[in-house]
Structure 1
């Protein structure tokens, strides 16, 4: 499979830098990097972005995440491998990623569960991480960015 075009973030000057900056919004907030990896992986699974699924799985493994937890992300509700905080982050990720699938985009129940665990700065970073990965997923899925093309770290 070949991409339909060069990735727009490489075509439009300044775009890659801006998105990479958005991707770092969780730093210095106390939001765990492993939680961010789970969020990125789950949104990418939902959006069918194989490029991002592969890349974020690799990054999570490089940061010490277990294969068992990564393989359980798609069925996180049925797994005992995730903390209450991670479950809240994953539920928020699913709600935001599937924002048009229900009358109330993000229910008070989902929001409150996350807000009960994360402080305002962490919650803001979590929302930004979810929004940013969804943007990347939509770009990559649209241009059919193939998996196996992510640079290795």
Structure 2
């Protein structure tokens, strides 16, 4: 498999890259909390196969004190008791919005779960965050942004 980078997109379109960074900055200052966001970003990056973002957000989770068992269980969050109802609602919404064509029937149930755990502002912030990580994933996968080989703790 060829893993060579294709294009350095962030240098070719710096205005777009800066705009993406500005949106990401607004997400980071949201009311959602970094752990919840990184759990969502990890799950979306797993679904999309974005090695760069997956590596970054797993490392962020570790820096925040998250253990390997919980991190390794993100793909199976429905099957374990390691995630609270708020995290479950966010992960369900993230999967629904990432797999748009696959989950039309479930979107109302996923939204109802969100409404039980999040304010309208938080739902809007979470939805923007999910859209943003999907955009980062697509750009980084398309351009094969490389992942540096370095040890995880």
TM-score, length basis structure 1: 0.89
Q: What's the Cα RMSD here?
A: 1.8
Conserved? CA contact 1:88–1:114, under 8 Å = yes
1:86-97 map, 5 Å: 86-97=87-98
2:68 paired residue number: 67
Q: SS at 2:82's partner residue?
A: coil
| Superposed CA offset, 1:37-61 (max 9, x none) | 0000000000000111101111111
1:115-134 map, 5 Å: 115-134=115-134
1:34 equivalent to 2:39? Answer no
- The CA distance in 2 between the partners of 1:108 and 1:139, in whole Å, is 29
Conserved? CA contact 1:54–1:148, under 8 Å = no
- The CA distance in 2 between the partners of 1:24 and 1:106, in whole Å, is 30
Runs of 5+ unmatched residues, structure 1: none
Runs of 5+ unmatched residues, structure 2: none
Q: CA deviation at 1:64?
A: 2.1
Conserved? CA contact 1:26–1:122, under 8 Å = no
1:56 paired residue number: 57
